[in-house]
Structure 1
Amino acid sequence: MISEPELVGGEGGPGPRPAAEGGPADVVDGEAPGDRAPGRLRLWSWALGGALAASALWGAGLAAYQGRGPDLGGYRSADDLCGEAKLTALVTALGRRAPGPPPYAIRHEAVEQVRCTVVLGTAPTTYEVSLRYDLHKTIDPGPEFEALEIPVPGEGPSAERLPGLGEKAVLSGGDGGYASLTVLDGQAVLAMDVHVVVEQDEETGEARETDPAAAAAVSGIKDFLVEDMRALMAQLRTSPPPRPSPSPSA
């Protein structure tokens, strides 16, 4: 007849199974049940639970970090890019400023792109200054900048890398009445292009030759471009200017 099992070990449940006649007692990890310290299983459960909780918190923190997207380095949207670009140095070098054609902008959760143009100088010698501002909110623009913005040696206009301006800066052109400064700074890509406006002959409709004096002015524009680009980058990392109050209705 088989009797009911006997409780061993006091409260908390049955103890280890004793050795049967001629048979071994339970052995776990090389230890007999009587050799195990009381509460070891409970301590192991607590440790495992703590590790799982820490892992869950870490995963939640990582997801929250990734959800925020990359650090924009203080750069913000620009509703009026040409209005915020004072171009003080270029105005000093090339002449008074006048508005250009209407600006162009794309606003998207992944990237913002703004293009605008101003005109400097006085007729018959004028210059167009084109500004470009791309703010990437999800991807790193660095590889694309290296591939597209830096001319291959021997191909296209000459290019000069300028240290100390953003992460990477390239000045190209400078001859023939055209110069371009492009800068990568974190998630922002900015460009400032200057070229002589070529007039058309009223009789033939053909483009007139570029004024040598105007082309020479552009070829020496490097320091002015750098100064105005640095000022624009700083401006785009400040609070946006207040919008004008709407005029009261009549």
Structure 2
Amino acid sequence: MSTPPQPPPPADQPVPQPGQPAPQPAVPPQPTAYPYPNPQSPPSGNFYAQPTLVGQAPPPHAGVPGNPYAQPPQYGPVPAPPPGGGGGAGRAVLWLAVGAVVASAAWAAGVFLLGGMSDSADLRGYSAPSNMCSRADYSSFKDEYPESDSSSTHTSLKDKALDESYCSLNLKKTGSSYADAYLSVQVDLHRKTDPGPEFTATWKNYGDSHTGYDVSPVKGIGDEAYLVSQDTTSGSTSGSRYATLAVRDGWVTYTMSYSAYLSSYNQDKNPPALTDVSDWLKTDTKATLEQLKD
């Protein structure tokens, strides 16, 4: 069984000639991703073989076997060229290093210019108010639900990744002591990530993940908008009517949702048709989005 070849000595340790001090390297050896010996290394015993490339370690037993006066070839880094002449190999190594630096800088600049490392959010002048109930426009619903709501609720969130503002309102018909319907409004300013792909996946395909809902795209509001609705009343004294208008404008998302439930205490106060509710949502959404840019 043959003995496996021994690994060559490290490239950063040049072999000195007999009787001479070891040369001082002027340029560090260049790293390589190729982990194996160079296939162009000269075979042992071939004095006229192609010389080893600069920076490559010598193969084992280099030189001419049987010739005690043969000097082993010099390996390792090339010494610095003398001032005023020569130095072609040194200049080649220098230009390779400069080219690598320039290429790295160009790549970094390209990534920056293309936005790969930028977190600039496309918020288009929108803001998320601390009290969404005071900024939301729902005037289209007030003919049907004229009673004022004294128990509205609102929340808000301020963070470097997300600004959010939410409002929940009780809608009451004339003379009602309890809510006849409910309205909620929410705006989200996405400061770190583009919500576009997930927004489209969620609302465009809402009918696939929720049984019994109708989904239709809405033109003329933001970059994209979807109306999601459901009516389970169908001539009975129970059930509900529901509609949500979801809008994305740049990195800002907005939803306005309506829901009404038939029950024993308000079955004589039928909720409005979903066609009317859909028109009100579109009108009030446009007005609210304009106000959120002030």
Q: Is the 8 A contact 1:179 1:219 kept in 2?
A: no
Distance 1:91 1:185 in 2: 27
1:87 is aligned to 2:138: yes
1:149 to 180, 203, 206: 203
In the TM superposition, structure 1's runs of 4+ consecutive aligned residues that sit over 6 Å from their partners are 47-50
Aligned to 1:33: none
Gaps of 5+ in 1: 1-12, 18-25, 29-40, 199-206, 239-250
- Aligned runs of 1:1-250 on 2, under 5 Å? 13-15=83-85, 55=106, 58=109, 62=113, 66-121=117-172, 122-124=174-176, 126-150=180-204, 151-153=206-208, 155-173=211-229, 175=231, 176-196=240-260, 207-208=263-264, 211=267, 214-238=270-294
More off after superposition, 134-143 vs 104-113: 104-113
Distance 2:181 2:117 in 1: 44
Distance 1:147 1:63 in 2: 25
Deviation at 1:173, TM superposition (A): 1.7
Distance 1:126 1:157 in 2: 22
Secondary structure of the 1:237 match is coil
Residue identity in the other structure for 1:88: S
Relative to structure 1, the CA distance from residue 169 to residue 60 in structure 2 (aligned partners, 3 Å threshold; closer, same or farther) is closer
**Number of aligned residue pairs:** 196
- Of the two, which has the highest radius of gyration? 2
Relative to structure 1, the CA distance from residue 77 to residue 132 in structure 2 (aligned partners, 3 Å threshold; closer, same or farther) is closer
Root-mean-square deviation (CA, aligned residues, Å) is: 3.7
Distance 2:198 2:100 in 1: 45
Residue identity in the other structure for 1:152: G
Name the TM-score, length of structure 2 as normaliser. Answer: 0.54
Which one has the bigger helix percentage? 1
Secondary structure of the 2:285 match is helix
Deviation at 1:53, TM superposition (A): 11
Distance 1:218 1:152 in 2: 17
Kindly, what percent of the aligned residue pairs are identical? Answer: 24
Distance 2:207 2:260 in 1: 25
Gaps of 5+ in 2: 1-82, 232-239
More off after superposition, 77-86 vs 94-103: 94-103
Deviation at 1:77, TM superposition (A): 2.3
